[in-house]
A and B are shown apart, each in its own frame.
Chain A
Amino acid sequence: MIMKHATRARAVALIVGIAVLAFLVGVNPGGAGAQAPVTLNVYISGDTNIFDLWQKMLLPAFQKRYPQYKANMVPLLHGEGSQGVFDKILAAKQSGRQTDVDLWETQPSFVTQGIPDALWVKLGPNLIPNLSHVLQQKLDATQSYSMPYRGSSVVIAYNSAFVKTPPKTFDDLVAWIKANPGKFTYCDPNTGGSGQAFMVAAVYKYASNAQFIGSSYDPKAESSWDAAWQLLKSLEPAMYNGGAHPNGNVAVLQLLAQQNIYIAPVWSDMGTDYLSRGLLPKTVKLEQLSPPLFGGDSTVTAPASSAHLEGTFLLLNWLLTPDAQTLVVNGVSGYPGVDWQYMPASVRSKFADVAKPYAPLPNSQYFADMLRLWHERVAGGG
């Protein structure tokens, strides 16, 4: 069927017109050229409650305190796109350009990766006065190339309607899982810290964690993990759906909400948040095991090629003030980055029972190997 001349012409004109219009509109984006306030680009890796913390609480407070700065947050969910950001910063350093990344909250592994190429600024009290309020051992974890500003730990969430006596220790939990197949799972460790915590708890059961949290790395030491892989593998048939580990922290919370499972490891702050919003049934309760599951500090790092380092240092320093740290603690039911003694007394007393210890994280190289071996030995064929 040959189209009529007029219709064809109209169609072509329409398409061209839209394209031109779109291009013109695109060439004039509003506002990106503002002169006076300097814009800091803050890249945050994490989950959505953290994005809300920055977007709705921290950044507006920072901008109010320092009106000469504007802040723009770029979210990286579960760290997706982190490799791209790292490559971007590396490429900028190698071609001698400045990067648009002014601050980056990311996994310690990327910080460690970037140290040989001098990608980050080494932080110290000369640049950031409030850094002296942070425990030195927390800074040592990444040789002072990144700074903790909040902490969280993984806890156990259980649905009290179906779990009358919740497990109190890791071994209790293992026994419960075997006795109640299909009612527990943890997220794929590649995709969420809550799943990682369970995996690491198995490893720490058989091998003292001291070996793995320092900065040394010896692949041969990983043979001590074999017992852990065996334990986890033996639990697979008792997992939800005979071995399904969903993608991400939130997916597990959803399984819990849908009553597909009755117990799961969850981040303390996410669990609290979901309960308060009615996204989990009211019968779900949170508790910490003994020995506890891991927790960690979230750290932020300053790329050396940033164009706005003075602004970044100002932001980093402000993050450690009691005001900002109180926002963190209240905003995400989290732990502060500074030592508790520097927090206001009212906050300290309010969160006295939340401030429980947690197990430490293994260093990034061991961690990367744990993730890979979990996939090979536990989820895979062995």
Chain B
Amino acid sequence: MSGSQWFQAVRVLRKTIGLGALLALAAFILGPLLSLLMWAVAGTWLFPALIPEFSLKWWFYVLGQEDVVKSIRMSVESAPVATALSALICIPAAYAFARLEFPGRRVVLLSFLSANAFPKIGLYVSIATLFYRLNLMDTFAGVVMIQLINTLLFMIWIPTGTFRGINRNLEEAARDAGAGPLRTFFQITLPIALPGLIVAALFAFIAAFDEAQGSLIVGTPNHITMPVLMYGLVLGYPQPVGAVFSVLLALPSLVLLLLMQRYLRAGYLAAGYNL
């Protein structure tokens, strides 16, 4: 436990600062969410009331809107598909970036980073015309493709770093022991890389889930996602409505958090992430 010993060298000072910092951080992160939760059960809340009037009337209002239910379904269906598709095409590519030499490797790698830096406003007209020709407008596939664009960055870069961090000796040892390249990949490389890949999938999912500007053009009117709807609810309706919808939206995310919890602990992200 020598790592800990180093840190404990300044134990007393650390403990005091640590506790204060911890409380401050917890307040900063949880505070806004707490106030949102209170707004979600508020009938009315006018300054300078410390606590709102309790009421669930806005829940009935929100859940009564059929667009709300439709959009939840749309988001929950499209984002996982976009993420899975992204993983399918990007992870082999990431392995290639990490392990193989081929002409133009650096240029292609750079292009993924650079292309995602281009503000999407400038792109959407051209994309819309293209989609019209390909009959992708107002289709599930069209929305998935738009979300896919946003996932590419995470699905290439994080897995590339993950694969690069895996010690080559492990793979070479397996090869020397007689295992073929595919077997080596699935039995040696992939298990070590998995936590990193799952983190990449998580970020990719968030990016797909949050996508709003492109989905508006491509998905209307029958394939509206939650962000597109949410944007309007939050800006235009009375405060409790946005708060109620926020709580509703947090639910799938929260479920994901609980399921993925074990993968996200710092310890799991270790395993040779050696850059």
Contact = CB atoms under 8 A, between A and B. Distances in A.
B217 to A, nearest CB: 4
Nearest to B236: A48
B44 A279 contact: yes
A60 interface: no
Interface stretch (A1-9, A62-70, A224-232, A345-353): A1-9
A278 B44 contact: yes
A25 B77 contact: yes
B128 A88 contact: yes
Contacts of A91: 125, 128-129, 132
Interface in A254-284: 254, 257-260, 274, 277-279, 281
A97 B239 CA distance: 41
Interface string A177-198: 0000000000000000000000
Contact of B133 (A18, A74, A87, A95): A95
A250 B236 contact: yes
Contacts of A32: 222
A60 to B, nearest CB: 12
Contact of B47 (A27, A29, A51, A259): A259
B191 interface: yes
Interface in A69-103: 72, 74-78, 80-81, 84-85, 87-88, 91-92, 94-95, 97, 100
Contacts of B239: 254
B232 interface: yes
B140 to A, nearest CB: 5
A76 B236 CA distance: 10
Interface stretch (B29-37, B172-180, B264-272): B264-272
A2 B191 contact: yes
Given A1-B271, A29-B222, A18 B80 contact: yes
Nearest to B135: A97
Contacts of B235: 77-78, 247-248, 250-251
B158 interface: no
A77 B232 contact: yes
Contact of A8 (B47, B80, B83, B191): B191
A162 B74 CA distance: 47
Q: Is the interface of B mostly helix, strand, loop or mixed?
A: helix
Contacts of A29: 140, 222
Contacts of B217: 81, 84-85, 87-88
B132 A97 contact: yes
Contacts of B228: 81
A22 interface: yes
A258 B128 contact: no
Contacts of A27: 140
- Best-surrounded residue of B128, B216, B236 (most CB of chain A within 10 A): B236
Interface string A1-32: 11101001001000110110011011101001
B46 interface: yes
A88 B137 contact: yes
Nearest to A258: B47
Nearest to A86: B125
B81 A87 contact: no
A84 B201 CA distance: 29
A11 to B, nearest CB: 8
Contacts of B249: none
A129 to B, nearest CB: 28
A278 to B, nearest CB: 5
A72 B132 contact: no
Contacts of A92: 132
Given A19-B81, A81-B217, A87 B76 contact: no
Contact of B238 (A3, A77, A277): A277
Interface in B233-252: 235-239
A2 B81 CA distance: 28
B194 A8 contact: yes
A47 interface: yes
A84 B216 contact: yes
B5 to A, nearest CB: 22
B220 interface: yes
Contacts of A257: 46-47
Contacts of B222: 29, 32, 72
Given A23-B81, A84-B216, A95 B129 contact: yes
Contacts of A259: 46-47
A41 interface: yes
Contact of A22 (B81, B191, B192): B81
B125 A87 contact: yes
B150 interface: no
A80 B232 contact: yes
B95 interface: no
4 interchain residue pairs of minimum CB distance = A77-B232, A19-B84, A84-B217, A26-B77
Given A43-B220, A247-B235, A250-B235, 6 more contacts: A1-B268, A1-B271, A8-B194, A48-B237, A250-B238, A257-B46
23 contacts: A5-B191, A22-B80, A26-B140, A29-B222, A48-B232, A77-B236, A78-B235, A80-B231, A81-B217, A84-B213, A87-B128, A88-B128, A91-B125, A91-B128, A91-B132, A100-B137, A100-B221, A248-B235, A248-B236, A250-B236, A254-B239, A279-B44, A281-B46
